[in-house]
A and B are shown apart, each in its own frame.
Chain A
Amino acid sequence: MKIKQLSVFVENKTGRINEVAQILGRHGINMTAFSLADNADFGILRMIVSDVERAEQVLREAHFGVSVTEVVCLSCANVPGALSEVLDGLAKEQVFIEYMYAFSEGDTARVVIRPTDLDRCIEILQHCPCCLISKSILKQ
């Protein structure tokens, strides 16, 4: 249920994100989802990748600052209102979200959530109209 997310510290310099993508590409690591959070000086690139351990290793060798955190990843119907129903469910149970990012393909939407309380979040989501994604599905 818990998915490992890889975060990479990048200075705000042109081409840094591309370098990350190239390194992962060179090692045959696939990025399933990513988002960038930034401020004026630096950014944090958050990614769900096909092989976290390997990605962490190759990026560290290339002198990137990396960290791994656990997140939850879910899929729900790609129709208006579907996501808000899920988020309402979490809010009602006082589970707060540090950040989230989403992407959709066809009629399903996938959402990565970094909640303050991971275990509680998973528990609640199991009763929501969505489907939790396990690691094995993401690898494909």
Chain B
Amino acid sequence: MIWNPTKECMSREDMRRLQGERLHKLVERVYHNTPFYRRKMQEMDVTPDDIRSVDDIVRLPFTTKQDLRDNYPYGLFAVPMSQIVRLHASSGTTGSPTVVGYTRRDLAIWAEMTARCLSAFGTDCNDIFSVAYGYGLFTGGLGLHYGVEYLGATVIPMSSGNTAKQIKLLHDFGATAIACTPSYALYLAEAMAKTGIPREEFRLKTGIFGAEPWTENMRREIEHKMGVNAYNIYGLSEVMGPGVSHECEYKDGSHIIEDHFLPEIISPETLEPLPYGEQGELVFTTLTKEGMPLLRYRTKDLCSLTDEPCRCGRTNVRMSRIVGRSDDMLIIRGVNVFPSQIESVILEMEEFEPHYLLIVDRVQNLDSLEVRVEVRDGFYSDEISKMLALRQKLSARLQSVLGIKADIKLVEPYSIERSEGKAKRVIDKRVLQ
């Protein structure tokens, strides 16, 4: 069902006009309320009056994660703290964390747009959701939570971890939908199978997965193992949280909530805007946000956009799957390698478990890439030659996809850590040297 047809099925022309109006108001707000943006715009010799339509966006400055860190904690807030009703923060793996503040209106918009997503996934007020994203500073848990309530469905505020209890409550409460990271979904599916409870005793039918990039193969794997219809939800806390874009029943890209977020694709090298269809870095401008509005926020996520109409009837722009992150991208022997490429090769092969670990190192001034994988039960052999052939098969496929040779290491079952949150899949030892 389309939750908000006025906004989701608006003509392209009307959408551009609405975005233009909102962009102008946004620029006025940040110019007057955020010294950081006023300074940047003055340096570029741009005033709010110069920004009249979406085409003028190219005149505005970019914002990076580093800008958020430099202005830690409240430097980019555009309203006084008396109007901020909630804070979220991202874990700073490097440097200080980043903080996001929301006004009451921001939270209302967030809940409404998440309800649009959930409605596009075919869920409604009759569904019972287990929200297994972490509750807390991370936006995943609370973001989905209020979206489910806004939809009118039932929410089980499960949070992450304690898999045995998750399974018990999914079963006992008759949960029909689950929201978590795709890697946790795989972990959970395995754990569910191990309990021995027949799958028919679970009522799960919809899976809502996001917060980390995943692939079509991973979707098939989750759908097969968990017996759900799996949908992608995209978002990032700096911009809002989950719900910035979502798939529909056709699962052909994710519809961006364009009346609130203006997307662009730029070249990560030249920062020049790229046309629809071309792959580059995704950039968002938060058109309506009050607490911490951002101009041209560089997400580091690499994907492409299309404005072609979708069969579902929604007219807003769709983004492709995230093919990688511009800062996740590994440069190995001069070649760009994305962990997601390796993942999709592994997931295509039934001989291997969908868990892997990449170890990048530099040996005698030459980059090396080691891929650790577990052979799936049923594919172990008594013959060394058959195991080597298995390894060779993966090696050849990886080479054809990546263009470089990887050393494959077959490891024992369960020796690769199963994730209960975002999976740690890359160890780059070169950084430490």
**In contact, A63 and B413 (Cβ under 8 angstroms):** yes
Task: Tell me the nearest residue of chain A to B407, going by C-beta.
Answer: A41
The CA-CA distance from A38 to B383 in the complex, in Å, is 10
Q: How large is the interface on A (under 10, 10 to 19, 20 to 34, 35 or more residues)?
A: 20 to 34
User: Is A60 on the interface with B (CB-CB < 8 A)?
Assistant: yes
- Assess whether B375 is in contact with A65, with CB atoms less than 8 Å apart: yes
Does B383 contact A65, Cβ atoms closer than 8 Å? no
| Cα of A67 to Cα of B388 in the assembled complex, Å | 16
B375 contacts A69, C-beta separation under 8 Å = no
Are A11 and B382 neighbours in the complex by a CB distance under 8 Å? no
Inter-chain contact A9/B375, CB cutoff 8 Å:
yes
Which chain A residues border B383 with CB–CB below 8 Å? 37, 44, 98-99
Say yes or no: A10 contacts B412, CB within 8 Å: yes
- B387 near A44 (CB under 8 angstroms)? yes
- With contacts A11-B415, A60-B377, A65-B375 taken as known, whether A41 is within 8 angstroms of B409 at the C-beta atoms is yes
User: Cβ of A103 < 8 Å from any Cβ of B?
Assistant: no
Residues of A within 8 A of B72 (CB): none
A41 with B410: CB separation less than 8 A: yes
Q: Which of B403-433 contact A (CB under 8 A)?
A: 409-415
Q: How far is the CB of B386 from chain A (nearest CB, A)?
A: 9
Do A65 and B382 have beta carbons less than 8 Å apart? no
What chain A residues lie within 8 Å of B382 (beta carbons)?
5, 7, 44, 46, 67, 69, 114
Which residues does chain B contribute within 8 Å of A65, judged by CB atoms?
Answer: 374-375, 377, 380, 412-413
Q: Would you call A39 and B412 a contact (CB within 8 A)?
A: no
Interface presence of B82 (CB below 8 A): no
B380 touches which of A7, A11, A41, A98 (Cβ 8 Å): A7
Q: Contacting B412 at CB < 8 Å: which of A5, A64, A69?
A: A64
For A60, list chain B residues within 8 Å (CB). Answer: 377
Q: Are A67 and B414 in contact (CB under 8 A)?
A: no
- Chain B residue, CB-CB nearest to A46: B382
B366: interface (CB < 8 Å): no
Question: Which of B374, B384, B409 contacts A38 (CB under 8 A)?
Answer: B384
Q: Provided the pairs A39-B388, A44-B387, A65-B375 are in contact, do residues A11 and B381 lie with their beta carbons within 8 angstroms?
A: no
Report A-chain residues with C-beta under 8 Å of the C-beta of B374. 65
State whether A9 touches B380 (Cβ < 8 A).
Answer: yes
Chain A: CB-nearest residue to B383: A98
> In the docked arrangement, what's the CA distance between A69 and B411, Å?
21
* Distance in Å: Cβ of B416 to nearest Cβ of chain A: 11
How many angstroms from the CA of A11 to the CA of B413 in the assembled complex? 10
Q: Which partner residue on chain A sits nearest B409 by CB separation?
A: A41
- Contacting pair A7 B412 (CB below 8 A): no
A140 to B377 alpha-carbon distance, docked (Å) = 30
Instruction: Give the distance in Å from the alpha carbon of A33 to the alpha carbon of B308 in the complex.
Output: 67
B314 to chain A minimum Cβ distance, whole angstroms, is 46
Which residues 1-59 of A have a CB within 8 angstroms of B? 5, 7, 9-11, 37-39, 41-42, 44, 46
* Alpha-carbon distance A10/B388, docked complex (angstroms): 14
Q: Is A130 close to B, CB under 8 A? A: no
Q: Quick one: closest A residue to B378, CB to CB?
A: A67
Q: Does A66 contact B (CB under 8 A)?
A: yes
CB distance from A26 to the nearest CB of B (A): 19
A121–B387 CA distance with the chains assembled, in angstroms: 24
A11 to B381: give the CA distance in the assembly, Å.
14
Give the docked Cα–Cα distance between A69 and B381 (Å): 8
Give me 18 A-to-B residue pairs in the complex whose CB atoms sit less than 8 angstroms apart, sorted by A's number.
Answer: A5-B382, A7-B382, A11-B412, A37-B383, A39-B384, A41-B410, A42-B410, A44-B387, A46-B382, A64-B412, A65-B374, A65-B375, A65-B380, A65-B412, A67-B382, A69-B382, A98-B383, A99-B383
Query: Top 5 A-B pairs ranked by shortest CB distance?
Result: A7-B382, A67-B380, A65-B380, A63-B414, A69-B382
Chain B positions within 8 Å of A, measured between CB atoms, are: 374-375, 377, 380-384, 387-388, 409-415
15 more contacts with CB within 8 A, not counting A37-B384, A44-B383, are A5-B382, A7-B381, A9-B410, A11-B411, A11-B412, A42-B410, A44-B381, A63-B412, A63-B414, A63-B415, A65-B380, A67-B380, A67-B382, A98-B383, A114-B382
